[in-house]
């Protein structure tokens, strides 16, 4: 009789672990090619149109860059929280909290110059998201409430809270739609490249990646989050205040997601609308997992997801492939990555017995 045993594998070399996302994406594209072929489209033409839709022109390239920004912020939020085993599924709600906080302040501010208003609103977005993430962190550390459940449920609460404001005090006068009036020109992100929408938020996202990478690699907080993530009990007996690490982690993670909301209202919409997020927070979970919680990996994965999303509409128009193939590719990439992570940590041994 043949038996299959799952046994622990020796740790991979760093370069081998770094190849896992590349392998996952390659396998995902192969599976996607099969699905496109089943749909009756020419595979070469489909992928060519996908690439051209994402990078074919200067405008398309910068649109892909812009589309990656909210995913960078939510991906960083989830990645930093997961490092410390704070299971933050609430980046969506924190994103909305940042957008709502920024919008409320922007509409209430008197006329101020850009060098005053924009930094103030960026700080507001970070603080709004961070404070909203503080709720599940306190529930976890003080009352032992499961953070997966609390962060997930708070997403829906924040969405409806935002709806209350958009149908109430923040609603544009004379409108029946859940939308605010446009912000003052001095309060929105400046466009950095003419005839594109490439704005200040792109640089803000790059700065966030760099800062988070430095925090994780070179600071005491980075060490403590890693220690808590590896073994919270051992970290506690080693003198680390694990509850404090969880609180700080939640504040930073929520703040990063809040910056994503600030970026969306200040850089793209220039106002607040109810459906400002198509699910950036949930996609951020996929981004973080595919990036193996690495800030630089989050940047690369966000760009890949944005390219797929940007190119899918072109592929749909030219090859008549459903545009939601982009969602299929994103979901498949996570599934394949999880399988890769399984084989990173475990191997299957075959043995025969009489």
Q: What is the pLDDT of residues 195-235, one digit of tens each?
A: 899 999 999 999 999 999 999 999 999 999 999 999 999 99
Task: Give the pLDDT confidence score for residue 347 in this predicted structure.
Answer: 73
At 40-81, the pLDDT tens digits run: 888 899 889 989 999 989 999 999 999 999 999 999 999 999
Task: Give the pLDDT confidence score for residue 160 in this predicted structure.
Answer: 97
In order of their start, the domains of the chain are 2-352 (1.10.3470)
In the predicted model, what is the mean pLDDT of residues 237-255?
Answer: 95
Distance of alpha carbon 55 from alpha carbon 174, whole angstroms:
41
Q: What is the DSSP string of 132-183?
A: HHHHHHHHHHHH---HHHHHHHHHHHHHHHHHHHHTTTTSPTT--SSBPPPP
With tokens 């504040």, the residue in question is 251
Distance of alpha carbon 280 from alpha carbon 286, whole angstroms:
10
On whether the pTM is more than 0.75, the answer is yes
Task: Give the pLDDT confidence score for residue 1 in this predicted structure.
Answer: 67
Provide the 8-state DSSP code for 10.
P
Task: Give the pLDDT confidence score for residue 323 in this predicted structure.
Answer: 73
Confidence band, pLDDT 50/70/90 cuts, at residue 107: very high
Task: Give the pLDDT confidence score for residue 353 in this predicted structure.
Answer: 62
CA 100 distance to own-chain centroid: 18
Task: Give the pLDDT confidence score for residue 208 in this predicted structure.
Answer: 98
Residue with the larger pLDDT of the pair 320 and 77: 77
Distance of alpha carbon 72 from alpha carbon 186, whole angstroms:
25
């Amino acid at each position: 009789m043949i038996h299959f045993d799952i046994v622990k594998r020796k740790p991979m070399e760093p370069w081998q672990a770094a190849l896992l996302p590349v392998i996952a994406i390659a396998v995902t594209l192969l599976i996607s090619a099969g699905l496109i072929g089943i749909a009756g489209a020419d595979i070469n033409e489909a992928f060519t149109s996908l690439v051209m839709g994402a990078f074919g022109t200067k405008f398309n390239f910068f649109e892909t860059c812009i589309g990656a920004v909210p995913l960078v912020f939510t991906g960083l939020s989830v990645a930093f929280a997961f490092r410390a085993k704070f299971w933050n599924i609430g980046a969506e709600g924190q994103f909305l909290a940042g957008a709502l906080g920024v919008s409320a302040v922007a509409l209430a501010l008197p006329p101020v110059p850009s060098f005053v208003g924009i930094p103030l609103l960026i700080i507001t977005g970070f603080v709004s998201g961070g404070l909203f993430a503080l709720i599940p962190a306190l529930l976890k550390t003080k009352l032992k409430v499961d953070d997966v459940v609390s962060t997930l449920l708070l997403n829906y609460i924040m969405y409806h809270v935002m709806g209350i404001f958009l149908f109430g005090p923040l609603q544009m006068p004379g409108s029946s739609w859940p939308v605010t009036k446009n912000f003052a020109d001095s309060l929105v992100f400046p466009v950095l490249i003419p005839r594109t929408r490439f704005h200040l938020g792109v640089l803000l996202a790059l700065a966030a990646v760099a800062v988070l990478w430095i925090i994780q690699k070179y600071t005491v907080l980075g060490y403590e989050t890693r220690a808590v993530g590896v073994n919270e009990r051992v970290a506690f007996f080693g003198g680390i205040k694990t509850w404090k690490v969880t609180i700080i982690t939640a504040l930073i993670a929520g703040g990063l997601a809040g910056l994503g909301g600030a970026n969306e209202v200040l850089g793209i919409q220039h106002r607040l609308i109810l459906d400002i997020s198509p699910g950036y927070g949930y996609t951020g979970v996929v981004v973080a997992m595919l990036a193996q919680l690495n800030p630089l990996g989050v940047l690369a994965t966000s760009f890949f997801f944005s390219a797929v999303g940007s190119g899918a509409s072109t592929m749909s128009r030219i090859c008549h492939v459903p545009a939601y193939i982009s969602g299929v590719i994103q979901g498949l990439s996570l599934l394949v990555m999880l399988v890769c992570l399984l084989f990173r940590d475990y191997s299957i041994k075959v043995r025969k017995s009489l």
